[in-house]
């Protein structure tokens, strides 16, 4: 929707950040308005209309607001501003550039420009006069922190157009004209590098959205090896507090094989955002040699920032992701935590006195979550290139109980489930992803299986299944040992248990704070898995269960030292040889 | 007191509930303070010319013709050096018999710090308590609660931590403190000669429960003044946040809001986060560290209050009575300081992270051995050794009465490793074993 005449209204009711506005004129659902509080304009979004009464959720504190205050409706929905300069920025949930705000404390109604209007970008044309184009097509390109930032035909333009002119290669600001295109009626439209897009609407300018099929390497063994996620895939990480959701997401953002990383800190701790922009500018992107921060954008709507903007923040992040996907880039999108987003929906729904669903969440929670996850995906663009958004959200289940509405709704929407297990976390078995309950539905896709075989090896999945079986059998053996006692079971049960402990310690457990172990590339994962499986297939001779324990602990210790050593370094080789030695001692 | 000549006085209350009054009034701001029959109240809802006020002390005895005076301001506090050494109630009025303080008037519950203006917390807070410093090191700018049963000595431990923490200011926010506990804090601070570093905002069990809702904002506004303007290291103690949350639920029930889990308001997470997120490290060195107490009901941490707290804070400290050694210990399994990795092995000795993890792993093995023992199974030699280790570790490291420096904690732990285990059983990076394992 776009409307040129602004509708005016007056505040008629205030309940926390829900404000009722009496209007005289047309207003649209989800339209943006500004409440003209004497101190500063407060931005709000229409969420319900009842006759002349328009209910708006205010993105700021309403302290001091009075009845009768003027409200101006903007004639558009909540939008993001798209153009070069988004990468390495830190925005709030409404895409205000936090670095541009003055002072230590956030000031309400302080809205800052997400882009740099002065900076000149090095533009190279892609389209030429006479080309037929539609929304999302590439007109030109500027380098943005080493990434090719394509300048697109604005998403909002419907129908087909002909390129009339594109400026010559050279330096331009985002607001300078870079192309003129002509619509079917012959009207010229002047374009700059900037466009706007309503965040709650999915960008669908791609040609095709096939099922995702390509492995996305994350560097986390228990994900890549056991339950891989794919480019354009979706996953979620539910877990009680303190079990490692955020650490895992940060680790994936650092090491996953993505071009662009967008992190939505949604209703979580400010210190965790600080951690990102303290560490990422120091860390090197293994692929490009540039700093990680240069390919990262943070949407920070931390828990103490206004609740309504928290709801908006995940959409802002998704819209930015869709923009970069349309440039043919691999986007990794993280949201921590989607439960906080759901809670923001709940707070508002309660204030609106809507009929509550389970745990007082809104009735349409599942629908909202599902349609959000559906915006991720792998796409082919009109020019044959491909792009993707891989989305991983965390879920913070109340009381750690997975049978609660947000977890259950998300399970319907996401294809990978990385459940964090309290017992594993308590035992410092990080990442605490439960190897048995977790799953990747992508392993059921023949095209994914094909891709894994091609990229890793023909027998890779057989090996993975062997490891999974070992874990299962180890768990059963442990239960038996617990019931019958160490001496009450055959020695073989202890061997079974320790084989699974070996897989657990070497493959599943990974120390995110160790500079080497933190990232395990695929070839290294393959090597270690094969090595571990070799050991589990050996026939050792043991006298007693204690003998088994002690021996396996030595093996595990040596394997772990390998994990801590640089790949193929001298120390790595030394431990590898040490391992061979230990094995020889016992072979039958 | 605060009534001024030009203020409009209303005398016609239309509705009265246990916690709120409704009247017709104009030109009233949201969250504005008012005096209703001389009692502090705050605007919570406005519909056209109908204003609903929450009366903190409750509405008992308020007549429909009571005087209602709007004060034209949100909740405020006077801040300045004069606060030091003083005790106040939830409204910022002195309760120690001293004079009113002079200072700058600021609104409480103000805006949050821009995340990009924060600095990553990086200064270790040494408490001497090994269960904290070794396994759950605290850092300035952190927020962390004690999860404790009501009968545990949490206020004592907290007072100890506060006094040893080398803070420039300690701000106590007491909610539903018993009079004895209030006097306890007053005494320890006094005896330690630390009173001039301490500011207290106290709501005791004698005061109305709903008044507690103002305490954290008061304490944290004062903290912000000292940490930001005066660039001081401020430690804020909030006890007991469970009673704060209970007050939230009282209010939301009385206002007919739809309760979510455990009859808590659906906004509990945001309400608590708004408080805890005031913890901050500023680049100029000033900081606010929050140590809170959340008492548990029958040890249940899945209850909405501890659960939401756990999702907000940067870890939690559990106290537990270890009957094997007869001492209260900091439970190494369930306690966690999320920020410890920012300092351990960096501001402390290099082997700290690995030693800490190894010891806890062995302590966990001891717990398994104990289960085996309780189930009547034979113990292996290794089991026996872990049990012995666990007992010594509990006594020499985990007990809350320990007061040693971090080096000593690490050395003690290495000694315990050597006394009880073989090198390869400990699983620590080889370079550290080579360096710290004595022949
Ligand atoms: N892979 C890991 N390696 C080492 N330590 C870890 C790992 N994952 C988590 N931890 C430890 O667990 C702590 C909590 O992790 P994290 O902050 O990720 O939890 P969370 O699930 O996000 O909790 P919350 O829901 O409260 O945000 C970390 O501070 C760290 O000490
Ligand atoms: Mg987290």
User: Among residues A227, A134, A156, A237, which one has the least CA distance to residue A435?
Assistant: A227
Identify whether the C-beta of residue B125 lies closer than 8 Å to the C-beta of residue B347: no
Q: Residues A537-557, buried b or exposed e (16+ Cβ, 10 A)?
A: eeebebeebeebbbbbbbbbb
Q: What percent of chain B has pLDDT over 90?
A: 79
Q: How many CB atoms are located within 10 Å of the residue A569 CB? A: 11
Mean of the per-residue pLDDT values for chain B?
92
CB contact (8 A) between residue B380 and residue A13: no
Kind of pairing between the strands at B143-148 and B315-322: parallel
Q: Which of B115, B260, B311 sits opposite A302 (nearest CB)?
A: B115
pTM value > 0.80: yes
pLDDT in tens, A80-98: 999 999 999 999 999 999 9
Put simply, whether B118 touches A (Cβ < 8 Å) is yes
CB contact under 8 A, A90 and B141: no
- Residue B336 in contact with partner chain A when CB distance is under 8 A: yes
Model confidence over B221-243: pLDDT tens digits? 999 999 999 999 999 999 999 99
Say whether both A269 and A361 belong to one domain: yes
Q: Which ligand is nearest to the CA of A238?
A: 1
- Helix spans in B43-152 (H): 130-133
CA angle, A66 as apex, A60 and A69 as ends, to 5°?
A: 85
> Are residues A262 and A388 located together in one domain of the fold?
yes
A244 lines ligand 1 (CB under 6 A): yes
Between B37 and B251, the more confident residue is B37
Q: With an 8 Å Cβ cutoff, are B113 and A106 in contact?
A: yes
* Cα A313 to middle of ligand 2, angstroms: 17
Compute the nearest-CA separation of B224 from chain A (Å): 11
For B:15-54, CB contacts with A below 8 A are 26-32, 45-49
The stretches in chain A having pLDDT less than 70 are: 1-2, 588
Neighbours of ion ligand 2 (CB under 5 A): A 245-246
Q: Which two tokens stand for residue A63?
A: 């302290």
Rounded to a whole number of angstroms, the distance from the CA of B394 to the nearest CA of chain A is 18
Rounded distance between C-alpha atoms, residue A431 and residue A252, angstroms: 12
User: What integer pLDDT is reported at residue B1 of this predicted model?
Assistant: 46
- Tell me the pLDDT tens digit for each residue of A535-588: 999 989 898 988 999 899 999 999 999 999 999 999 999 999 999 999 998 876
Q: Is A303 in the pocket of ligand 1 (CB under 6 A)?
A: no
pLDDT at B4: 57
A106 neighbourhood in chain B, CB within 8 Å:
111-114
C-alpha to C-alpha distance for A325 and B206, rounded to whole angstroms: 61
Atom 31 of ligand 1, nearest CA residue = B338
Q: For Cα atoms A267, A271, A275, give the angle at the middle one, nearest 5 degrees.
A: 115
CB A472 within 8 A of CB A450: no
Q: What is the CA radius of gyration of chain A?
A: 27
Atom of ligand 1 nearest to the CA of A249: 18
> Is there a single domain that holds both residue A371 and residue A234?
yes
For A340, B309, B322, the CA distances from B241, given in Å and listed in that order, are 21, 9, 25
Q: What separation in Å is there between the alpha carbon of A423 and the centre of ligand 1? A: 13
Q: Is the pLDDT of residue B2 over 60?
A: no
Q: Is residue A105 part of a domain?
A: no
Q: Total structural domains in chain A? A: 4
In-domain check, residue A389:
yes
Contact status, residue A252 vs residue A219, Cβ threshold 8 Å: yes
In chain A, what residues touch B361 (CB-CB under 8 Å)?
Answer: 427-428
The pLDDT-based confidence of B430 (bands split at 50, 70, 90) is confident
Question: Which residue, A240, A406, A318, A238, is CA-closest to A249?
Answer: A238
**Chain A residues near residue B117 by CB distance under 8 angstroms:** 103-104
Measured distance CA(B55)–CA(B78) in Å, rounded: 22
Q: Tell whether B255 lies on the interface with A, counting CB pairs under 8 A.
A: no
How close is the Cα of A502 to the center of ligand 2, in Å? 28
Same domain, A336 and A481: no
Euclidean distance between CA atoms A24 and A8, whole angstroms: 7
Claim to verify: residue A412 and residue A542 sit in the same structural domain: no
A385 within some domain = yes
Q: Where in chain B is the domain with CATH 2.40.30.20?
A: 9-70
> Which of these three, A440, A469, A499, is where a domain ends?
A440
Helix (H) or strand (E) holding B305: helix B304-312
Do A431 and A466 sit in the same domain of this protein?
no
Return d(Cα B153, Cα B317) in angstroms, integer: 13
In this predicted model, what pLDDT tens digit does every residue of B68-84 receive, in sequence order?
999 999 999 999 999 99
Asked if B381 lies within 8 A of A307 by C-beta distance, the reply is: no
A487, B112: Cβ pair inside 8 Å?
no
Task: For residues B74 and B33, give the distance between their C-alpha atoms in angstroms, rounded to a whole number.
Answer: 5
Residues of A in contact with B30 (CB under 8 A): 14, 62-66
Together in a domain, A165 and A232 = no
Of A18, A49, A77, the last residue of a domain is: A77
Give the Cβ contact number of residue B368 at 10 Å.
Answer: 13
pLDDT, residue A1, reads 63
Of A392, A360, A355, A359, which Cα lies nearest the Cα of A373? A392
Q: What tens digit of pLDDT does each residue of B283-326 get?
A: 999 999 999 999 998 889 899 999 999 999 999 999 999 999 99
CATH class of B9-70: mainly beta
Residue with the bigger pLDDT between B423 and A331: it is A331
Kindly give the distance from the C-alpha atom of residue A470 to the centroid of ligand 1, in angstroms, as a whole number: 27
Q: Between chains, do B277 and A269 touch, taking CB under 8 Å as contact?
A: yes
- pLDDT at position B6, please? 59
User: Is beta strand A8-15 parallel, antiparallel or unpaired with respect to A260-266?
Assistant: unpaired
Nearest CA to ligand 1 atom 12: A244
pLDDT at B429 exceeding the cut of 90: no
- Choose the mutation target among A103, A270, A564 for the interface with B, i.e. most B CBs under 10 Å: A270
Distance linking the first and last C-alpha atoms of chain B: 75
Residues A376 and A249 in one domain: yes
Task: Return all residues near B139 (Cβ < 8 A) that are at least 6 apart.
Answer: B121, B122, B123, B124, B125, B289, B337, B339, B340, B342, B343
> Any idea which ligand is nearest the CA of B137?
1
Q: Enumerate residues 87 to 116 of chain B having a beta carbon within 8 A of any beta carbon in chain A.
A: 110-116
User: Measured between beta carbons, which residues in chain B are less than 8 angstroms from residue A240?
Assistant: 310
CATH number at residue A46: 2.40.10.170
Domain B76-107+140-313, CATH number (from 3.40.50.1220, 3.40.50.720, 3.40.50.1970, 3.40.50.12240): 3.40.50.12240
Measure B327 CA to nearest chain A CA, in Å. Answer: 22
**Boundaries of CATH 3.40.50.12240 in chain B?**
76-107+140-313
Q: Are residues A409 and A334 in the same domain?
A: yes
Does a structural domain hold residue A517? Answer: yes
d(CA B327, CA B343): 28
Closest CA to A94 of A296, A266, A343, A277: A266
Of chain B residues 119-158, which have a CB less than 8 A from chain A? 119-121, 141-142
Sequence-distant (6+) residues with CB within 8 A of A364 are none
How far B116 CA lies from chain A's nearest CA (Å)?
6
Query: Residues near B4 by Cβ (< 8 Å), separated by ≥ 6?
Result: none
CB B339 within 8 A of CB B142: yes
CATH number of the domain bearing residue A132:
2.40.50.100
CA–CA separation, A232 and A210 (whole Å): 10
| pLDDT (0 to 100) of residue B110 | 85
Q: Which domain holds residue A134?
A: 121-196
Whether A511 lines ligand 1, by a CB cut-off of 6 Å, is yes
Question: Rounded to the nearest 10 degrees, how much is the dihedral formed by the CA atoms of B173, B178, B180, B182?
Answer: 10
DSSP element (H, E) containing B190: helix B179-191
B187 min Cα distance to partner chain A (Å): 35
Pocket test of ligand 1: the residue of B142, B335, B338, B357 to mutate, having most ligand atoms within 8 Å of its CB, is B338
Q: Alpha-carbon distance B210 to B77, whole Å?
A: 18
Q: Is residue A187 part of a domain?
A: yes
């Amino acid at each position: 929707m776009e409307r040129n005449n602004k509708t005016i209204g007056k505040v008629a009711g205030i309940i926390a950040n829900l404000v009722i506005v009496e209007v005289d004129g047309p207003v649209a659902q989800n339209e943006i308005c500004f409440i003209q509080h004497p101190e500063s304009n407060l931005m709000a979004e229409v969420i319900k209309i009842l006759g002349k009464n328009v209910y708006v959720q205010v993105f700021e504190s309403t302290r001091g607001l009075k009845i009768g205050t003027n409200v101006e409706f903007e004639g558009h929905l909540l939008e993001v501003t798209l153009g070069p300069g988004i990468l390495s920025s830190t925005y709030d949930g409404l895409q205000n550039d936090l670095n541009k705000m003055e002072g230590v404390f956030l000031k309400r109604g302080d809205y800052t420009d997400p882009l740099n209007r002065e900076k000149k970008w090095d533009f190279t044309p892609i389209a030429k006069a006479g080309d037929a184009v539609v929304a999302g097509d590439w007109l030109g390109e500027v380098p943005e922190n080493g990434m090719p930032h394509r300048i697109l035909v604005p998403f909002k333009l419907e129908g087909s157009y002909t390129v009339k002119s594109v400026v010559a290669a050279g330096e331009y600001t985002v607001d300078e004209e870079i192309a003129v295109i002509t619509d079917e009626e012959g009207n010229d439209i002047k374009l700059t590098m900037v466009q706007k897009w309503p965040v709650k609407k999915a960008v669908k300018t791609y040609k095709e959205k096939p099922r995702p099929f390509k492995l996305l390497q994350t560097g986390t063994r228990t994900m890549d090896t056991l339950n891989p996620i794919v480019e354009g895939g979706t996953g979620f990480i539910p877990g009680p507090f303190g079990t490692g959701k955020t650490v895992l997401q940060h680790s994936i953002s650092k090491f996953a094989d993505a071009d662009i990383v967008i992190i939505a800190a949604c209703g979580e701790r400010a210190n965790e955002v600080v951690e990102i922009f303290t560490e990422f500018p120091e860390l090197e992107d293994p692929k490009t040699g540039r700093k990680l921060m240069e390919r990262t954008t943070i949407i920070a709507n931390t828990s103490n920032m206004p609740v309504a903007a928290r709801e908006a923040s995940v959409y802002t992040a998704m819209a930015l992701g869709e923009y970069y996907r349309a440039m043919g880039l691999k986007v990794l999108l993280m949201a921590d935590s989607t439960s906080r987003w759901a809670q923001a929906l709940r707070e508002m729904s309660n204030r609106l006195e809507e009929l509550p669903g389970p745990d007082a969440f809104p009735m349409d929670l599942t629908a909202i979550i599902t349609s959000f996850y559906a915006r991720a995906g792998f796409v082919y663009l009109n020019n044959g290139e491909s792009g993707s958004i891989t989305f991983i959200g965390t879920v913070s289940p109340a009381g750690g109980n997975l049978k609660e509405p947000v977890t259950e709704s998300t399970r319907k929407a996401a294809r990978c489930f990385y459940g964090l297990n309290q017992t594993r976390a308590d035992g410092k078995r990080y990442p605490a992803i439960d190897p048995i309950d977790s799953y990747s539905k992508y392993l059921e896709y023949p095209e994914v299986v094909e891709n894994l075989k091609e990229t890793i090896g023909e027998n890779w999945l057989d090996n993975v299944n062997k490891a999974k079986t070992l874990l299962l059998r180890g768990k059963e053996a442990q239960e038996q040992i617990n019931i019958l006692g160490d001496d009450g079971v055959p020695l073989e049960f202890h061997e079974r248990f320790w084989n699974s402990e070996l897989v657990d310690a070497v493959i599943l457990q990974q120390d995110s704070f160790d500079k080497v172990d933190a990232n395990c590339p695929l070839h290294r994962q393959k090597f270690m898995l094969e090595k571990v499986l070799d050991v589990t297939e050996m026939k050792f001779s043991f006298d007693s269960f204690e003998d088994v324990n002690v021996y396996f602990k030595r093996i595990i210790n040596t394997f772990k030292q390998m994990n801590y050593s640089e790949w193929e370094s001298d120390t790595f080789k030394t431990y590898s040889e040490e391992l061979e030695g230990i094995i020889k001692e016992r072979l039958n | 007191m605060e009534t001024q000549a030009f203020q409009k006085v209303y005398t016609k209350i239309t509705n009265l509930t246990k916690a709120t009054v409704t009247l017709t009034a104009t030109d009233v701001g949201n969250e504005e303070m008012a005096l209703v029959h001389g009692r502090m109240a705050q605007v919570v809802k406005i519909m056209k010319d109908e204003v609903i006020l929450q009366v903190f002390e409750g509405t008992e005895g308020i007549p429909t013709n009571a005087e209602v005076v709007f004060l034209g301001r949100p909740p405020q506090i006077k801040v300045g050096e004069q606060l030091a050494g003083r005790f106040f109630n939830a409204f910022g009025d002195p309760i120690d018999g001293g004079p009113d303080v002079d200072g700058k008037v600021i609104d409480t519950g103000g805006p949050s710090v821009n995340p990009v203006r924060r600095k990553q917390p990086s200064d270790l807070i040494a408490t001497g308590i090994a269960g904290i410093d070794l396994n759950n090191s605290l850092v300035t700018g952190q927020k962390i609660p004690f999860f404790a049963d009501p009968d545990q000595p949490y206020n004592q431990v907290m007072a100890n931590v506060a006094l040893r923490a080398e803070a420039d200011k300690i701000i106590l926010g007491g909610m539903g403190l018993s009079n004895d506990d209030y006097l306890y804090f007053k005494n320890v601070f006094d005896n330690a000669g630390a009173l001039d570093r301490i500011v207290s905002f106290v709501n005791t069990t004698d005061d109305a429960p709903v008044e507690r809702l103002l305490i954290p904002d008061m304490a944290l506004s004062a903290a912000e003044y000292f940490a930001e303007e005066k660039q001081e290291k401020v430690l804020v103690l909030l006890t007991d946040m469970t009673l704060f949350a209970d007050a939230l639920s009282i209010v939301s029930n009385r206002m007919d809001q739809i309760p979510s889990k455990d009859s808590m308001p659906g906004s509990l997470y945001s309400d608590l986060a708004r408080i805890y997120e005031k913890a901050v490290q500023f680049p100029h060195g000033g900081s606010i560290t929050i140590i809170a107490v959340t008492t548990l009901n029958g040890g249940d941490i899945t209850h909405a209050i501890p659960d939401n707290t756990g999702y907000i804070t940067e870890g939690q400290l559990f106290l537990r009575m270890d009957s094997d050694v007869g001492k209260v210990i900091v439970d190494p399994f369930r306690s966690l300081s999320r920020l410890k990795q920012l300092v351990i092995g960096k501001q402390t000795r290099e082997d700290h992270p690995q030693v800490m993890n190894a010891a806890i792993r062995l302590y966990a093995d001891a717990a398994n051995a104990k289960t085996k023992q309780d189930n009547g199974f034979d113990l292996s030699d290794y089991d026996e050794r872990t049990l012995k280790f666990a007992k010594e570790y509990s006594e020499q490291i985990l007990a809350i009465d320990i007061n040693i420096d971090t080096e000593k904690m690490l050395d003690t732990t290495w000694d315990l490793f050597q006394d009880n285990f073989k090198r390869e059983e400990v699983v620590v990076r080889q370079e550290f074993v080579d360096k710290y394992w004595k022949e």
